[in-house]
Amino acid sequence: MTTAERLVIGRPEIADGIELHRIAAASQVLDVNTRYAYVLWCRDFAATSAVARRGDNVVGFVTGYRRPERPDVLFVWQVAVDAAARGGGVAGRMLDDLIARLPDVTAVETTVTDDNAASRALFAAFAARHGAQIERTELFGNDVLGGQHAPEILHRISPIDRGMMQR
């Protein structure tokens, strides 16, 4: 693989699940789910998730789902990019691809821990590109999360301006 290979972004396939697990584990930041969970995710939530590939290699992923009681709200669960591919806009492009594939989505929700500068910058830049504001509230404190987990701060990004990407 060379970084000169074109980046291709799209829906994950079942065979990508194992790569999502690898990238999540290598990040040393994310809560790592089981291999089975990522494979199942790639089967059942492919429409609301994205992978970035260079050649045959998956170099990044976004897992997301529509909130069952608010299907116009996309909850982005995890985003990760291989360390060697970071800083080149891969994560931003995956989010943009996803939102373009889901034209009825009006808001994006995600949680970001305060100490994750890259993640904060990623979602701030995404909101700016889509003309949206970010509202921050605590989603789950560490009392709910069992004491060993930093609070999850909800970032609600809305409204998504559909005209902006075409301007």
d(CA 25, CA 10) in angstroms, rounded, equals 22
Residue 128 CB, nearest approach to ligand COA (Å): 7
Tokens of residue 152, six digits:
């999850």
Q: Give whichever of 115 and 143 is closer to ligand COA, judged by the CB atom.
A: 115
- Please spell the DSSP secondary structure of 17-37, one letter per residue: HHHHHHHHHHHSSSPPPPHHH
Please check whether residue 45 is in contact with residue 34, taking contact to mean a CB–CB distance below 8 angstroms: no
In the chain, the amino acid numbered 54 is R
Near ligand COA by CB under 6 A, which window of 4-12, 34-42, 96-104, 113-121? 113-121
Q: Using omega within 30 degrees of 0 as the cis cutoff, is the peptide bond preceding 159 cis?
A: yes
Q: Give whichever of 14 and 118 is closer to ligand COA, judged by the CB atom.
A: 118
d(CA 102, CA 24) in angstroms, rounded, equals 24
Percentages of the chain per state (helix, strand, coil), in multiples of 5? 35, 30, 35
Per DSSP, helices labelled H in the chain are 17-27, 35-44, 90-101, 117-129
Residue 76 CB, nearest approach to ligand COA (Å): 8
Tokens of residue 88, six digits:
């080149």
Residues 13-52, mask of contacts with ligand COA (x by CB under 6 A) = --------------x-xx----------------------
Please tell me the count of residues contacting ligand COA according to CB under 6 A.
21
Does position 118 interact with ligand COA (CB under 6 A)? The reply is yes
Question: Which residue of 55, 71, 88, 141 would you call a contact of ligand COA, by CB under 6 A?
Answer: 88
Residue 137 CB, nearest approach to ligand COA (Å): 17
Residues 46-85, mask of contacts with ligand COA (x by CB under 6 A) = --------------------------------xxxx----
Chain residues that interact with ligand COA, rule: CB under 6 A: 27, 29-30, 78-81, 86-92, 116-119, 121-122, 125
